[in-house]
Amino acid sequence: MLPYPRPNLANVQPYKPGKPIEELIRELKLKGEVIKLASNENPLGTSPKAMAAIKKFAPESFLYPDDSTYYLRQAIAKKFKLEMDWVMAAAGSVELIYLACLAYLRPEDELMMSEHSFIIAKIGATVMDSKVREISLKEDYSHDLNRIFSTITLATKIIYLDNPINPLGTIVKRRELDEFIEKMPENILVVVDEAYNEYITTRDYPDSFKYLRQGKNVMVLRTFSKIYGLAGLRLGYGFAKPEIIANLQKVRYPFNVNRMVQLAGIAALTDLRHVKRSRKVNEEGKKYLYEELKELKLFYLPTYANFVFVSFVEDSQMVFEKLLRLGVIARPVKEYGFPNALRITIGTPAQNKKLINALKQVVMR
């Protein structure tokens, strides 16, 4: 007989990441070039400055990391002109979402989020046996902040907003979020997940640091996984009032940010050339994919991130498997409520062309 887990764990649906490229090649015995456009990784790879730091400090891997992440937080605080006690580093921004649930949710509380949003917040709240209230999106597939606000109850403790929404790529714009935060009750923590912030080019994107300067109970999340290309090392960071950061620190495990990634992150923050080049490749890729997807008469959502949400007339698992056999790995998003859609990372020009050629074979058969 096994020990009994907490009953609410039966309701937890673990996060299902995309399979590593080497695993899929081995499972399906794929031949030739295989490209992975499933996990929103930077197709240009890791920041060269971060890579240089990794190579330089690799001999120090036997040492424990700095548990306080002092120098990393110092570099982040300097870059964003905040005090260090407003900054927290973590093993990816997903850890900060999870820690917020551990620190602030009780069984009688609720977390509010949009339907089809990034699923980690839902998992964290369910682990805490809290209620998850999912609010319908607007017709343009963006957060309906008016509906979210009107649905707030005395039990609401966290509101999670991914901006852009993963897996849709849509955003809530500056004026709308400003008005939403301005009228937010003080007992609610609003988590604004900006994992794709560095890919944003529109001036309508909110300035979330303004809410911090105004003393609002907002936590802003960023990551090194996307444009900096450090997804494999796991590094994210967040900004909030020192009192909020202190509570999250109480529920994290020791040495949660490894030594190598702290040093790589400090170096990556200075790699403006890599960020600029990555953003340029992404913008050019978006334009190319939009034109080709229109030609194929496929529904897609214009994106503010480094991926495109594409819907098909057939089950996305079938499209996924057909693309696999043509050497392209995409990401089905059935767990987000879209049985006929794929989330496809924007790649290099060569990768994007390979994707479109594969899609032509799949949808035109």
Query: pLDDT tens digits for 89-129?
Result: 999 999 999 999 999 999 999 999 999 999 999 999 999 99
> What percentage of residues in the chain have a pLDDT greater than 90?
89
The alpha helices in the chain, defined as continuous H runs, are 21-28, 48-57, 70-80, 93-104, 120-127, 145-151, 174-182, 209-213, 242-251, 259-268, 272-295, 316-325, 349-363
77: left (phi over 0), alpha (psi -120 to 50) or beta: alpha
Per the structure, the complete domain to which residue 334 belongs is given by 17-45+272-363
- Whether 9 is covered by a domain: the verdict is no
**Is 2 a domain residue?**
no
Whole-structure pTM value: 0.93
- Cβ atoms of residues 228 and 47 within 8 Å: yes
Residue 365 banded pLDDT, cuts 50, 70, 90 = low
Q: Does a structural domain hold residue 122?
A: yes
The CATH number assigned to the domain holding 358 equals 3.90.1150.10
| Whether 148 contacts 159, CB under 8 Å | yes
Q: State whether 258 and 280 are in the same domain.
A: no
Residues 74, 199 within the same domain: yes
Tell me: do 191 and 208 sit in the same domain: yes
Domain end, chosen from 268, 289, 305, is at 268
Tell me if 5 is assigned to some domain.
Answer: no
**CA separation for the pair 193, 117 (Å, rounded):** 11
Report the chain's mean pLDDT, rounded to a whole number: 94
pLDDT at position 271 is 98
pLDDT at 176 (0 to 100): 97
Residue 6 in any domain: the answer is no
300 with 264, same domain? no
Question: Are 189 and 290 members of one domain?
Answer: no
52 and 41 in one domain? Answer: no
Model confidence at 232, pLDDT cuts 50, 70, 90, reads very high
pLDDT tens track for 234-280: 999 999 999 999 999 999 999 999 999 999 999 999 999 999 999 99
Q: Is residue 315 scored above 90 in pLDDT?
A: yes
Residues 174 and 307 occupy one common structural domain: no
Q: Higher confidence at residue 125 or residue 4?
A: 125
pLDDT on residue 11: 82
Determine contact, residues 236/256, Cβ cutoff 8 Å: no
HSE (CB half, 13 Å, CA atoms) of 256?
A: 21
pLDDT in tens, 28-62: 777 778 899 999 999 999 999 999 999 999 999 99
| Cα dihedral value 108, 111, 112, 116, nearest 10 | -130
Which of 243, 268, 293 marks a domain boundary? 268
Whether 217 and 343 map to the same domain: the answer is no
Lowest mean pLDDT segment, chosen from 166-180, 218-232, 351-365: 351-365
Residue 14: the pLDDT is: 75
pLDDT at 134 exceeding the cut of 80? yes
Structure tokens at 338: 């879209």
User: Within a domain: residue 39?
Assistant: yes
251 and 117 both lie in a single domain: yes
We report the CATH number of the domain holding residue 107 as: 3.40.640.10
pLDDT tens-digit series, residues 173-196: 999 999 999 999 999 999 999 999
Over residues 55-81, the mean pLDDT reads 96
Same domain, 240 and 216: yes
Q: Does 188 share its domain with 258?
A: yes
pLDDT at 122: 95
Strand order in the sheet with 189-193: 87-90, 236-239, 218-223, 189-193, 156-162, 110-114, 131-135
* Residue 1, domain member (yes or no): no
Q: How far apart are CA 10 and CA 12, in angstroms?
A: 6
Other beta carbons within 10 angstroms of residue 254's beta carbon come to 7
pLDDT for 33 equals: 82
Using one digit for the tens of pLDDT, what is the confidence trace for 283-293? 999 999 999 99
Which of helix, strand or coil describes residue 244?
A: helix
For CA atoms 264, 278, 142, 120, the dihedral sign is negative
| Same-domain status, 193 and 222 | yes
Q: pLDDT, tens digit, for every residue of 7-34?
A: 887 787 777 776 677 777 777 777 778 8
CA 325/CA 348 separation, integer angstroms = 20
Q: Which of 238, 268, 298 is the last residue of a domain?
A: 268
Q: Is the dihedral of CA 92, 94, 97, 100 positive or negative?
A: negative
Q: Is residue 76 part of a domain?
A: yes
**Domain tally, the chain:** 2
Pairing mode of beta strands 218-223, 307-311: unpaired
